Amino acid sequence: GESVGLHLPTLSVQEGDNSIINCAYSNSASDYFIWYKQESGKGPQFIIDIRSNMDKRQGQRVTVLLNKTVKHLSLQIAATQPGDSAVYFCAEGQTGANNLFFGTGTRLTVIP
């Protein structure tokens, strides 16, 4: 399968600061990328997605950046709050294919 990895397994930030979570992928055929948030004992929750014809997409307090040249994806969370503490996964997929491949996850801890 495809390899989707994260640069940092853990990230601690002060409340109110911005967080940046990174993800590398290896399948150049992937054209759909998603960030998920998973709290302890729960299923993943969709945060934001981006297609390969875009390099940036913004949501509420979150921004995803896609650099296809270096196969890199990042999630930026503005004004990080304690409720943002969770594990964040990136996932990649291809149009027309069923599967999503998940990265290893980054645990974000927000320090009050």
Partner 1 sequence: GAVVSQHPSRVICKSGTSVKIECRSLDFQATTMFWYRQFPKKSLMLMATSNEGSKATYEQGVEKDKFLINHASLTLSTLTVTSAHPEDSSFYICSARRTFEGEQYFGPGTRLTVT
The answer to whether residue 49 forms part of the interface with partner 1 (CB under 8 A) is yes
13 or 49, CB closer to partner 1? 49
Q: Measured from the CB of residue 65, what is the shortest distance to partner 1 in angstroms?
A: 20
Residue 105 lies near partner 1 (rule: CB under 8 A): yes
Q: Is 103 among the residues that bind partner 1 (CB under 8 A)?
A: yes
Burial letters 66-104, b for 16+ CB under 10 A, else e: bebeebebbbbbeebeeebbbbbbbbbbbeeeeebbbbe
Residue 84 φ/ψ, nearest 5 degrees: -80, -10
21 binds partner 1 (CB under 8 A): no
Binding-residue total with partner 1 (CB under 8 A): 21
